[in-house]
Amino acid sequence: MNHPRLATTPAELSKAITELLEATGKDRPALGLVPTMGALHQGHAALAQAARADNDVVVASIFVNPLQFDDPDDLARYPRTLEADLALLGEAGVDIVFAPAEETMYPGGAPLVRVSSGDLGNRFEGAFRPGHFDGVLTVVAKLLHCAQPAVPAEYRAYFGQKDAQQVALIRRMVADLNFPVQVFPVPIVRAEDGLAESSRNVFLGPEQRKDALVLSQALFQLQERAAAGRPLDLPAAVELITSRGGVELDYFEVVDPLTLAALPAGPSDTLSGPALALVAARVGSIRLIDNAELSG
């Protein structure tokens, strides 16, 4: 197993990255960055493995970003498992772990200047979590700057398709603000029962976990209909979720994968191109999100 180097300040991170990039002896080595909030599971491992497969040097960051939590209780109880996280990242072959303290990332407290996620950040997750995506984009911008190679190198960053709206927004930030990095989405990793892996799944009791499965079941139903060229009938998939006691649906929509604009998905609407089904629901006090790509 690899023992990643631990960096806790941007200066330490930059030094470690330069040393490892130079040690490759290549003219233009590749650096992969995997930003996380820790409490790592197989979904994060897939990101680290994808970065490992494509790059000479891999950095993962672990930082629970207070700026993206609209609910102080959610922030306070967010799981923190640094030792286990380092072991998982070492197993995945990560070279450097950047785990800064809150004071290091936000020395003067919350930053005055932030990245605005615009209209795209106010919909779906943003509508239920005001300010969430401005917080996400601000910390991702900072992390992308902190890990920016100081010597000639390819620069790539890896994000999970589990957070589809986040991926769409990060792509827009990178394009709109000319970040010199390539964004790579990584497919959703699911548990054997179909539940999308999430750091919040540890809070689900056994019954709640069974209830939560209705989300992936409803998504798979849409995927099957799309693949068979049948009408999507989103209302029937919605009904599957709302008829399940213990699950409170927040939203369930079929959208364009890039713009997240709503697409027609009624009982007589068939797909005319790629689409994404986005769902969010609460199981008890645990908020879960999931999504699936639909194609005819």
Q: Which residues bind ligand AMP (CB under 6 A)?
A: 36-37, 43-44, 46-47, 159-160, 162-163, 186, 188-189, 196-199
Question: Kind of pairing, strands 96-98 and 5-7?
Answer: parallel
Question: Which residue's CB is nearer to ligand AMP, number 140 or number 222?
Answer: 140
Residues 184, 146, 122, 42, CA torsion sign: positive
Query: How far apart are alpha carbons 101 and 254 in whole angstroms?
Result: 39
- Binding residues for ATP are 37-44, 160-163, 189, 197-200
- Contacts of residues 130-133 at CB distance under 8 Å and 24 or more positions apart, as own/partner, are 130/70, 131/67, 131/68, 131/70, 132/68, 132/69, 132/70, 133/68, 133/165, 133/166, 133/169
Question: Which residue's CB is nearer to ligand AMP, number 188 or number 212?
Answer: 188
Of the residues 3, 44, 132, 145, only one is catalytic, namely: 44
- Nearest distance in Å: CB 120, ligand AMP: 16
Question: Which residue's CB is nearer to ligand AMP, number 29 or number 100?
Answer: 100
Query: How far apart are alpha carbons 37 and 265 in whole angstroms?
Result: 34
Question: In terms of residues, how long is the chain?
Answer: 296
- Nearest distance in Å: CB 172, ligand AMP: 15
- Binding residues for beta-alanine are 68
Sheet with 275-283, edge to edge strand ranges: 247-255, 275-283, 286-294
- Nearest distance in Å: CB 270, ligand AMP: 28
Question: Which residue's CB is nearer to ligand AMP, number 62 or number 247?
Answer: 62
Helix (H) or strand (E) run with residue 47 in it: helix 42-54
Q: By three-state DSSP, how is residue 288 classified?
A: strand
145 is an active site residue: no
Q: What single string gives the DSSP state of each residue in 154-202? A: EEEEEEEGGGHHHHHHHHHHHHHTT-S-EEEEEPPPB-TTSPBP-GGGG
- Nearest distance in Å: CB 233, ligand AMP: 26
Question: Which residue's CB is nearer to ligand AMP, number 50 or number 226?
Answer: 50
- Nearest distance in Å: CB 272, ligand AMP: 28
Locate 128 and state its tokens.
């239920």
CB 276 within 8 A of CB 294: yes
Residues belonging to the active site = 44
